[in-house]
Amino acid sequence: MNERMFTNKLLLLIVPILFLNGCSNYKDQQVIPPETLPEAIIKVMSDAYPDATDATFQAIEKDRLYEVYYKLKGNPFYAALNTKKILSVYRMHGALPDSMRRALPSRNMTGGAAEAYKEPESQPSAERKYSARYTWDNQAYLLSWLQYDLVNPKKMSVTVEPYIKFSYAIGKDELVALPGPVVSFLEREKLRFAAATISINDKNEKIYEVNAYTASSTNYDFTFNAAGKLTNTVYRAEAFYYNIDEYPEKIQNFVKNSWVFSSMKLLEGYKFSDPIGTGYGMIMQGTDENCRFTFDQDGNLVNMRYESVVDL
């Protein structure tokens, strides 16, 4: 996606927007409707990227969390930041290259359209990761590629999951960043917070993926929505399932009536139940592909994560 297309989409949003021709002179460059960026946000951006130009800021949480699209030496970038630091940075690559088009989902989730091709900056591994917005069956997903440069350079892992704009990690000293119900849950269960990933979706809602461990050092993963409701975990599962027919009828019908997933086999299934969230989880497996689902207590789909391996 080019800069003009990205900016036009931002202009359609209701939140106030301002444009910058460099971070240091923003007060002279405001465009109606005006919005005053916190000085701390300007300082974080200026300190990290003093040569940034054509910056467009948008508030995710006013005065606290922002996203910004900008250029460095003419190259487009996208970042998230708060009043203390840059949280995540992506280089925008525009159109999908042919090599990535050949690595689009080739089995059950084929036929979608990809755009907004980007790459996280400062990847620590030689295994490069890229992502794009993937529209399939009239829904927006995050399509990610991970190339196994060292293990098998001729294969690539492809992941499709609900679309998020960006995500960032927090450590055990940042427990305050979690919603109150999540903190209370950890305290009630006497779980020790280790780390979390916070993701922001199209609606600027947060999804919290939390890792915590028991007194015996057993690790568990938990997913919470923006309100702090538990939406997935195998921690203290109420039941385990080994056949689709053991699930509530609505979930059975979702799988059996789907041309995409009905051919897969149930690898793992469970029900979790807690005062702050009850639901179901399952992992389905096919040939070189698998899919993870979570459902709420009424059998409504909450989340899906599809993974496959493609040849380059």
> Residue 234 falls within a domain, yes or no?
no
- pLDDT score of 235: 97
* Cα distances (angstroms) measured from residue 182 to each of 155, 277, 296: 39, 11, 18
pLDDT above 60: residue 150? no
Instruction: Tell me what pLDDT residue 138 has.
Output: 81
* Count of CB atoms situated within 10 Å of the CB of 100: 20
For residue range 172-207, what is the model confidence (pLDDT) as tens digits?
Answer: 999 999 999 999 999 999 999 999 999 999 899 999
Residue 144 lies in a domain: yes
Give residue 120's pLDDT.
84
Q: What average pLDDT does this structure show over 275-289?
A: 93
* Greater pLDDT, 245 or 308: 245
- Based on the fold, state whether residues 244 and 277 are members of the same structural domain: yes
Q: Which of 147, 165, 183 is the last residue of a domain?
A: 165
Last residue of a domain, one of 92, 121, 152: 92
Is 303 in contact with 231 (CB distance < 8 Å)? yes
Whether residues 9 and 79 share a domain: the answer is yes
* Residue-number span of the structural domain to which 109 is assigned: 95-165
CATH code at position 281: 3.10.450.360
pLDDT above 70 as % of the chain? 78
Task: Enter the tokens of residue 70.
Answer: 């900008």
Domain tally for the chain?
A: 4
Both tokens assigned to 285: 């497996």
Asked if 88 and 102 sit in the same domain, the reply is no
Of 189, 207, 228, the position where a domain reaches its end is 228
Q: What is the model's pTM? A: 0.82
- Residue 201 resides in a domain: yes
CA-angle at 181, arms to 176 and 186, nearest 5°: 75
- The mean pLDDT of the chain is 82
Measured between alpha carbons, how far is residue 112 from residues 95, 97, 139 in Å?
15, 15, 9
Segment 89-111 mean pLDDT: 70
3-state secondary structure at position 294: strand
Torsion angle of the four alpha carbons 156, 158, 163, 165, in this order, in degrees rounded to the nearest 10? -10
